[in-house]
Homo-oligomer: A and B are copies of this chain.
């Protein structure tokens, strides 16, 4: 019907605010010059509250997966016993990367429509004192589950294992407290709740993780923490970075700081609750129980979901995401992260209720949720 305005409601990349896009068009600067030497440490400082850390934050030119590989390349050697918590596509990715790097991979699998049970993690670790690193997923966007990383971190007890967390689709939209929870490595990316274009990953290492990395010979050059540190010490990136995207992320942080982190977290929770109330009002069933539901993306059961999505996109200009793995064709996912507001949820639900011939039903339920929210 119309193609000039397409609403992206996928779990990343999210729409990017015009003012952020505009900054991606800033004139080029020398990445070894004075402008950049100021910007790099400044950016790290501004990201720290989002990670919940006082540690250094490294900017890596690459996808979120590049950030994940940076964690593995610096902490894993051939034979390193690791535990990957696998309950979705991105948990699997940890295991796959670890295998490529020669780790002895233990997998604790959990059902793809629920969160990992921290007690099971604790039990597993007690039975396997040799495990050196646990790889977990904060927000498993493939299953729309939010895992309780604080509880997973605590479940380690006095076990030696480092905890590495993929927080790609949560940071900036969901609270995270790396230092307080005792998380050792956190990975995120530019195109999710930070609402900038994709192409940059951000990674932070605790002192314990840095010690382990220093004792471990990195099996990558591009991701070698030692090389990063050598350059970072003089406020320089080791390799020519995505300069345009750094400018964009700066502006995205301006927006996030003006909103305030607590407000951003509340906005994501509200969007989640509106979407869940809305789809239920249509008789549809969310994939995940309320207690494990992601604040940034919601999965909804629907047979023939992919054909439906194609039709929806053509008719209403709204792009939802499909299912992955066992859920391919059986669910659709509504992204509500980054540059998304409760009003955007009303239009997303409007599309749903029209397509199911129940005008007003879902939006009414969602508006009730919003009205009752302080």
Contact = CB atoms under 8 A, between A and B. Distances in A.
Contact of A12 (B64, B222, B240): B240
A30 to B, nearest CB: 6
A38 interface: no
A264 to B, nearest CB: 19
B222 A61 contact: no
Interface string A254-273: 00000000000000000000
Could you say which of A62, A198, A222 has the most chain B C-beta atoms within 10 Å of its C-beta?
A222
A319 to B, nearest CB: 6
B10 A30 contact: yes
A286 interface: no
Interface in A25-52: 25-31, 33
Contact of A8 (B29, B96, B239, B245): B29
B61 A63 contact: yes
Contacts of A14: 28
A240 B6 CA distance: 19
A173 interface: no
Contacts of A22: 25
A312 interface: no
A204 interface: no
Interface in A71-100: 72, 93, 96-97, 100
